[in-house]
C-alpha cells in the first residue's frame, strides 16, 4: 500500500487523467463535518461489501480522520486482491490543515 501526504494527493488528483475512487471510511457524522469533494462514504464496517462490488484493478485512495482506520481498510482490501491502494497519511485532519484550509477540523 502506498502512502500519500495531503500535498502529494492534491498534486496527484490534479494531474491524473483517471481519478481514483476516494473512499472515506469514517462515520456519517464525521463525513458531514468535513470531506474531500468527490469522495464516497463507506464506513469501515461496510468495507467488506466493496470486495464484490468494486473492480480490484481500480485505484482507491482510502481516507479517514488521521490515517489509522484507512490503513486498516487498505490492508483488508489488499488481502482481498486489491493492489492499487493509497492511504492518505494524516487523514482528513491533515488534508484540512495543509490543503483545504476552509474545511473544519475536529
> Average pLDDT of 5-30?
97
pLDDT (tens digit per residue) in 18-74: 999 999 999 999 999 999 999 999 999 999 999 999 999 999 999 999 999 999 999
Tell me the sheet residues that pair with 21: 60
Is 64 annotated as catalytic? yes
- Give the phi and the psi of residue 13 in degrees, each rounded to 5: -65, -30
pLDDT of residue 98: 98
Confidence of residue 88 (pLDDT cuts 50, 70, 90): very high
**So where are the chain's domains?**
2-98
- Find the catalytic residue in 23, 60, 64, 86: 64
pLDDT of residue 100: 98
Give yes or no for a contact between 92 and 23, defined as CB atoms under 8 angstroms apart: no
Confidence of residue 3 (pLDDT cuts 50, 70, 90): very high
To which CATH superfamily is domain 2-98 assigned?
Answer: Rhodanese-like domain (3.40.250.10)
Query: Any idea of the CA torsion for 34, 40, 43, 44, to the nearest 10 degrees?
Result: -110
pLDDT of residue 24: 98
Amino acid at each position: 500500500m502506498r502512502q500519500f501526504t495531503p500535498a502529494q494527493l492534491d498534486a496527484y488528483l490534479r494531474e491524473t487523467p483517471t481519478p481514483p475512487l476516494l473512499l472515506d471510511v469514517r462515520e456519517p457524522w464525521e463525513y458531514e463535518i468535513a470531506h474531500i469533494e468527490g469522495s464516497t462514504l463507506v464506513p469501515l464496517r461496510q468495507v467488506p461489501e466493496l470486495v464484490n462490488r468494486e473492480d480490484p484493478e481500480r485505484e482507491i485512495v482510502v481516507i479517514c480522520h488521521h490515517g489509522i482506520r484507512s490503513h486498516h481498510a487498505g490492508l483488508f482490501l489488499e488481502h482481498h486482491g486489491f493492489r492499487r491502494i493509497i492511504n492518505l497519511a494524516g487523514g482528513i485532519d491533515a488534508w484540512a490543515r495543509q490543503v483545504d484550509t476552509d474545511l473544519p477540523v475536529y
